[in-house]
């Protein structure tokens, strides 16, 4: 079978060279990933993947030289395509788990030796055809032995599908796939002439009975082992090969109905099938339980976006069993939609070239054999990729050439070398093939599946990405916070309220003034986000405030956004301390506004919590009946009694605060009241400010500026405009009626019964229209019937605010 070296097409070397460049670039990315992630060359580089790259690179070029020497007329595309897939999978396994990486590299070395030995044995095709029953029975016996001696390297409570000990295991069901294809191909090739002439169902059934029996035994063993994914592959392979041999389309219909019936039967009999189908139908019902794998897989694909996070810069390890069942999702996260489509194209080209080899094969056995290999490589790839993309229920099979697994890699490589042997037959001597349509239909089916998988990848990576990434069960945001400095909060004087401390890899969020935790909220890797930390998250993470070039550059280099932007609030820490001290241990809230500009100068809400100790205090905080997480000023809703007649003559909705651009930043319910008999204290505060402004409600302002790189502090967007909400003369008269005789201020005190056993007390006050200093509006709410205390607190604060200037 040796051919002159000069006959081997140059395209094979060129494709392997291109694949080598891709793998070398990927390995380099993995090497420098730790330094890039922490943005410092002072950390150690990751040299471990180069062990696998060395074996892959040397083995690939030596194998291609063997092909040039011994199979110079073999298909030049197939080996480079398959070898590139192996390289990508090997690198990702190293990236996810160096322990599994070294084992996969060792298995690759064994696979290389088998490939080289097979290339020196040109009679191997004849041997495997002649002893088809011996090979299949051997595979069945080994698979049956797992029922008695089976082990699982990952744990004793998991399915025992492996044989071996002392750290060396192999999975008999993997070579059984190969042996079943060999058996069916040899049997059908021997019966091809009879099959092509017998058209009645009885004779076809009698001819196919041995194949059905042997296949049923194999599938039955797998069902007993509960390896239902592999059983599905066996059924698919059987249906495809019978269809190719008989050319009866009803075989495909029967096969499809059989798979559906098997799924329904498995759903009724096996808990594992029922759980996977339920998780597939609606993964959002239990995203942290039985649907955890598929939800995290979709989030990983969404996190990859179009171009990926970069090899070594994503978080694919968050998906369970990412190195095996979910390696496609892992690659999608770090290489993006571009990488996903590239992998699908490689699989499609490999399957397509294999079908082309089958069409041009030397005899019926070789034709069925290579067509079976194409069906296996394409079908199993689509099955596991569809599971990652939620197109089909999860099956637990491997992605050929890519997933971790020595048994899978060996079998895939044996199929590869057998395909090359078949393709090396002289093109001028193909076997007779009267009707190539079944093979073209098989190729069309596989390509259609690849197209659907590509569309689904785009759907989750682009269209659904924002929704998936904003889910509370996406831990990647918290991981990013450890490596990218989150923007801080500052008061109007520039004093820090919340800052990020530490260095890349160990950043921590610290609130310098804990009583404001209920206002600014928390951003915690365990308990998520609240308050301003949540509503301003895009600015604080650096998703907003940068131009597209800066965003893209940071994403390209680091796989993460640029540093977050600092936010300046209108709060005044000196006034805030006075408000908190005045409220003390009382349950309630205090709001202080600049009545002219609308700036919120202080928000005290008691009880509050300390965002710095959230994890330690979480249990007690959630059990506290006084709701320490509630920002009473903007989220609390209270009865207002006759306040309406004084402060809301045109109705409680006349302020139109919900139209402000800043409304969502301080109230998650966007100021919409569920009960029209209740009101939020902030509405009362802005009504009081309007009364001081001759009936004009000032704009709502809590966020004053954002610190943009190279621009400094830039005023925050505010579309809110002053609104005339009451008659000017009426407002002035009302203000005078509340005037205090001892100062330039005014005040109003009422208590309101919320229910038969509960009361709230309102104190509303501020400065008169002739006040020469900063005009202020003050609202105090106590969750008790205590007008005297409210008046004491209010007068104390007003006296401090209205110091003569």
Among 93, 26, 101, which residue's Cα sits nearest to residue 323?
A: 93
CA distance 779 to 585: 17
CA distance 300 to 328: 10
Task: State the chain's mean pLDDT as an integer.
Answer: 86
* Helices and strands in the chain, H and E counts: 30, 19
Do 354 and 430 meet the contact criterion of CB atoms below 8 Å apart? no
Q: What is the predicted pLDDT for the residue at 786? A: 93
Mean pLDDT (whole number) for 491-497: 95
Question: Which residue pairs, CB below 8 angstroms and at least 24 apart, start in 749-757?
Answer: 749/787, 749/790, 749/791, 749/794, 750/641, 750/642, 750/643, 750/787, 751/785, 751/786, 751/787, 752/638, 752/639, 752/640, 752/641, 752/643, 753/639, 753/641, 753/785, 754/638, 754/639
Q: What is the predicted pLDDT for the residue at 560? A: 82
Instruction: Count the residues in the chain.
Output: 805
721 burial (CB, 10 Å; 0-12 / 13-18 / 19+) is exposed
Please enumerate in sequence order all residues whose Cβ is within 8 A of that of 32, keeping only pairs 6 or more positions apart, or say none.
Answer: 45, 46, 312
Q: pLDDT-based confidence at 781, cuts 50/70/90?
A: very high
CA distance 392 to 385: 9
* H/E segment holding residue 385: helix 364-388
Distances (CA, A) of 289 to 276, 330, 547, 552: 12, 20, 39, 35
DSSP three-state, residue 697: strand
User: pLDDT tens-digit profile of 28-47?
Assistant: 999 999 888 887 787 889 99
327-359 helix and 292-304 helix, angle to the nearest 10 degrees: 80
Q: What is the predicted pLDDT for the residue at 158? A: 58
Among 645, 647, 640, which residue's Cα sits nearest to residue 677?
A: 640
Q: pLDDT-based confidence at 612, cuts 50/70/90?
A: very high
Q: pLDDT-based confidence at 126, cuts 50/70/90?
A: confident
Please enumerate in sequence order all residues whose Cβ is within 8 A of that of 784, keeping only pairs 6 or more positions apart, or say none.
Answer: 586, 587, 588, 759, 760, 761
Residue that the structure tokens 């089909």 belong to:
392
Do 484 and 564 meet the contact criterion of CB atoms below 8 Å apart? yes
Do 179 and 138 meet the contact criterion of CB atoms below 8 Å apart? yes
pLDDT of 659 strictly over 70: no
pLDDT of 2 strictly over 50: no
User: pLDDT tens-digit profile of 165-181?
Assistant: 666 666 777 888 888 89
682 burial (CB, 10 Å; 0-12 / 13-18 / 19+) is buried
Q: What is the predicted pLDDT for the residue at 166? A: 60
Q: pLDDT-based confidence at 505, cuts 50/70/90?
A: confident
Do 632 and 583 meet the contact criterion of CB atoms below 8 Å apart? no
User: pLDDT tens-digit profile of 368-395?
Assistant: 999 999 999 999 999 999 999 999 888 8
CA distance 720 to 662: 8
Among residues of the chain, what percentage have pLDDT more than 90? 47
Q: pLDDT-based confidence at 1, cuts 50/70/90?
A: very low
User: pLDDT tens-digit profile of 196-206?
Assistant: 555 555 555 65
Mean pLDDT (whole number) for 507-530: 91
pLDDT of 670 strictly over 90: no
Q: pLDDT-based confidence at 75, cuts 50/70/90?
A: very high
Residue that the structure tokens 């298995």 belong to:
107
Max alpha carbon distance in the chain (Å)? 114
CA distance 335 to 327: 12
Question: Which residue pairs, CB below 8 angstroms and at least 24 apart, start in 190-194?
Answer: 191/245, 192/245, 192/364
Q: What is the predicted pLDDT for the residue at 577? A: 96
DSSP output for 534-589: HHTHHHHTTSSSS-HHHHHHHHHHHSSPPPPPPEEES--HHHHHHHHHHHTT-SEE
Distances (CA, A) of 234 to 229, 388, 596, 657: 9, 20, 77, 64
CA distance 735 to 750: 16
Q: pLDDT-based confidence at 785, cuts 50/70/90?
A: very high
User: pLDDT tens-digit profile of 397-451?
Assistant: 899 999 998 889 999 999 999 999 999 876 556 667 778 899 999 999 999 999 9
pLDDT of 721 strictly over 60: yes
CA distance 69 to 63: 10
pTM for the model stands at 0.81
pLDDT of 673 strictly over 60: no
How many alpha carbons lie under 13 Å from residue 28 in its C-beta half-sphere? 6
DSSP output for 59-91: HHHHHHHHHHHH-TTS-TTHHHHHHHHHHHHHH
Please enumerate in sequence order all residues whose Cβ is within 8 A of that of 168, keeping only pairs 6 or more positions apart, or say none.
Answer: none
Mean pLDDT (whole number) for 545-563: 82
Mean pLDDT (whole number) for 660-674: 55
DSSP output for 639-693: E-TTHHHHH-TT-TTTT-GGGSTTHHHH-TTTT--SSTTEE-HHHHHHHHHHHHT
Report the DSSP pairing between strands 567-569 and 489-490.
parallel
406-423 helix and 173-190 helix, angle to the nearest 10 degrees: 30
Among 163, 147, 139, which residue's Cα sits nearest to residue 215?
A: 139
214-228, 246-260, 479-493: least confident range:
214-228
């Amino acid at each position: 079978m040796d051919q002159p070296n000069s006959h081997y097409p140059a395209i094979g070397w060129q494709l392997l060279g291109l694949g080598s460049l891709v793998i070398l670039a990927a390995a380099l990315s993995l090497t420098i990933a730790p330094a890039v992630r922490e943005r410092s060359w002072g950390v150690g580089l990751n040299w471990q993947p180069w062990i696998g790259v060395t074996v892959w690179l040397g083995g690939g070029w030596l194998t291609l030289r063997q092909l040039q020497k011994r199979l110079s007329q073999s298909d030049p595309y197939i080996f480079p395509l398959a070898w590139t897939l192996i390289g990508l999978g090997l690198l990702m396994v190293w990236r996810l788990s160096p322990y599994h990486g070294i084992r996969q590299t060792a298995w690759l070395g064994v696979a290389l030796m088998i490939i080289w030995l097979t290339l020196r044995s040109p009679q191997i095709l004849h041997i495997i055809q002649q002893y088809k029953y011996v090979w299949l029975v051997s595979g069945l016996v080994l698979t049956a032995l797992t029922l008695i001696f089976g082990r699982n390297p990952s744990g004793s409570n998991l399915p025992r599908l492996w044989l071996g000990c002392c750290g060396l295991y192999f999975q008999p069901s993997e070579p059984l796939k190969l042996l079943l294809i060999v058996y069916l191909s040899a049997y059908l090739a021997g019966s091809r002439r009879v099959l092509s002439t017998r058209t009645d169902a009885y004779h076809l059934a009698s001819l196919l009975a041995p194949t059905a029996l042997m296949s049923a035994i194999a599938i039955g063993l797998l069902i007993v082992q509960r390896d239902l994914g592999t059983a599905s592959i066996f059924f698919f392979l059987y249906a495809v090969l019978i269809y190719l041999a008989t050319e009866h389309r009803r075989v495909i219909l029967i096969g499809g109905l059989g798979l559906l019936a098997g799924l329904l039967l498995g759903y009724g009999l096996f808990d594992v099938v029922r759980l996977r189908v339920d998780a597939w139908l609606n993964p959002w019902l239990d995203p942290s339980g039985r649907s955890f794998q598929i939800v995290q897989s979709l989030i990983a694909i969404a996190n990859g976006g179009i171009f990926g996070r970069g090899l070594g810069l994503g978080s694919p390890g968050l998906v369970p069993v990412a190195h095996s069942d979910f390696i496609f999702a892992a690659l999608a996260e770090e290489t993006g939609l571009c990488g996903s489509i590239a992998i699908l194209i490689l699989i499609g080209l490999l399957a397509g070239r294999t079908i082309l080899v089958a069409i041009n094969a030397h005899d019926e056995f070789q034709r069925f054999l290579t067509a079976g290999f194409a069906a296996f490589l394409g079908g199993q790839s689509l099955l596991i990729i569809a599971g990652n993309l939620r197109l089909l229920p999860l099956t637990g099979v491997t992605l050929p050439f890519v997933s971790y697994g020595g048994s899978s890699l060996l079998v895939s490589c044996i199929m590869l070398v057998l395909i090359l042997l078949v393709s090396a037959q002289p093109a001028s001597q193909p076997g007779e093939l009267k009707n190539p349509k079944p093979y073209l239909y098989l190729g069309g089916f596989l390509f259609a599946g690849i197209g659907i998988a590509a569309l689904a990848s785009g759907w989750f990576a682009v269209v659904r990405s924002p929704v998936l990434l904003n889910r509370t069960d996406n831990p990647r945001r918290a991981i990013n916070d450890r490596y990218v400095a989150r923007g801080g909060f500052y008061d109007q004087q520039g004093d820090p309220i919340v800052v990020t401390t530490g260095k890349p890899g160990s950043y921590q969020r610290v609130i310098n003034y804990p009583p404001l935790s209920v206002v600014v909220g928390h951003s915690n890797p365990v308990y998520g986000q609240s308050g301003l930390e949540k509503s301003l998250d895009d600015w604080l993470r650096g998703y907003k405030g940068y131009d597209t070039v800066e965003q893209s550059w940071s994403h390209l280099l680091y796989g993460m956004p640029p540093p977050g932007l600092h936010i300046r609030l209108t709060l005044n820490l000196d006034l805030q301390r006075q408000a908190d001290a005045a409220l003390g241990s009382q349950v309630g809230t205090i709001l202080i506004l600049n009545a002219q500009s609308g700036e919120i100068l202080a928000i005290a809400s008691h009880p509050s919590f300390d965002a710095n100790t959230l994890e330690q205090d979480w249990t007690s905080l959630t059990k506290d009946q006084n709701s320490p997480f509630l920002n009473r000023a903007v989220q609390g809703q209270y009865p207002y009694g006759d306040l309406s007649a004084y402060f809301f003559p045109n109705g409680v909705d006349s302020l139109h605060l919900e139209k402000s651009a800043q409304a969502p930043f301080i109230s998650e319910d966007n100021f919409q009241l569920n009960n029209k008999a209740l009101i939020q204290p902030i509405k009362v505060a802005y009504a009081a400010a309007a009364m001081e402004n001759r009936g004009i409600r000032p704009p709502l302002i809590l966020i004053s500026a954002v610190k943009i790189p190279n621009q400094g502090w830039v005023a925050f967007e505010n579309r809110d405009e002053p609104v005339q909400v009451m008659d000017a003369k009426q407002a002035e008269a009302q203000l005078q009626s509340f005037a205090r005789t001892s100062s330039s201020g005014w005040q109003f005190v009422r208590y309101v019964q919320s229910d038969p056993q509960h009361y709230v007390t309102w104190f509303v006050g501020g400065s008169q229209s002739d006040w020469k200093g900063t005009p202020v509006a003050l609202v105090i709410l106590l969750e008790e019937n205590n007008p005297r205390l409210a008046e004491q607190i209010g007068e104390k604060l007003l006296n401090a605010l209205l110091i003569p200037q």
